[in-house]
Amino acid sequence: MSHDTPPLVVAHRTTMGHSPENTLAGIRRAAELGCDGVEIDVRLCADGVPVLIHDELLDRTTNATGRIADTSLSELERIDAGVGERIPTLRQALQEIAGDMILMCELKVSEGDDIAALTRAVLADIADADALSWTWFWSFDSSTVIELARIAPRGRRIAHLCLAPTPDIWQMVDDHRLDGVSMHGMGLSAQDVEACRSRGLASFVWTVNEPRDITRCVELGVSGIVGDMPERIQAAIAGLR
């Protein structure tokens, strides 16, 4: 390995390679596999409660249809998110993790969503669970990243999600004192990893599932690797020791 500290092993969408994505079962599976962290996607339901779901629509991952933003929490409790699992609230996910793993909390927004409401609600749940010290916040949406940086308390950790960092993203990192960048593993360059290192930033990569690609990311010295099958990441790290 190129660097002394191995990357964090992070289960993508709560171990979606083994369990229904964004579910409590997926969180438990990540813990069973000995992952360092677990990544989740968070949106607001109709009641303004942060819940775990990747898509704007319920259609792909549940037995229901329609927009998550138009669905109440009581309705969500009756929806199957895979083999009897329910769509959990962020509060439930925080209780399940309980600081035993690092949480990578991705804030998902669609056109017309209230970014301020989402960030406030997520940060309130994190504060209530005393989870700030073991949580990373990130988003592809620059406005959401900026809002997080504006209102999150001291000690927060924020990364910008991207395919690859652009000059605008590097400027945003500097202007808003972000803590990391999360890049697509397939387009990862040694220069981008070194740029993070020189700025004192964490360098994460997503979603890396093929052993050859995982090994390359480990060799480049990234801070953390997000994957659907975290045992492959663990194997690649062990193989390079």
Q: Is 32 exposed, middle or buried (0-12, 13-18, 19+ CB in 10 A)?
A: exposed
Report strand pairing: 50-52 vs 37-44: antiparallel
Rounded Cα gap, residues 68 and 73, in angstroms: 10
Q: What is the pLDDT of residue 3?
A: 58
pLDDT in tens, the chain (241 residues): 445 799 999 999 999 999 999 999 999 999 999 999 999 999 999 999 999 999 999 999 999 999 999 999 999 999 999 999 999 999 999 999 999 999 999 999 999 999 999 999 999 999 999 999 999 999 999 999 999 999 999 999 999 999 999 999 999 999 999 999 999 998 899 999 999 999 999 999 999 999 999 999 999 999 999 999 999 999 999 998 7
Helix H segments across 104-166? 115-128, 142-151
Give the number of other CB atoms < 10 A from CB of residue 7: 25
pTM, to two decimals? 0.97
**DSSP character for 212?**
H
Q: What is the pLDDT of residue 89?
A: 98
Degrees, nearest 5: CA angle 27-28-30: 65
The SS3 of residue 191 is helix
User: Is the CB of residue 120 less than 8 Å from the CB of residue 83?
Assistant: no
Cα end-to-end distance, the chain, whole Å: 6
* Residue partners of 111: CB distance under 8 A and separation at least 6: none
| Domains of the chain listed by start with CATH number | 8-239 (3.20.20.190)
Sign of CA dihedral 38, 42, 45, 49: positive
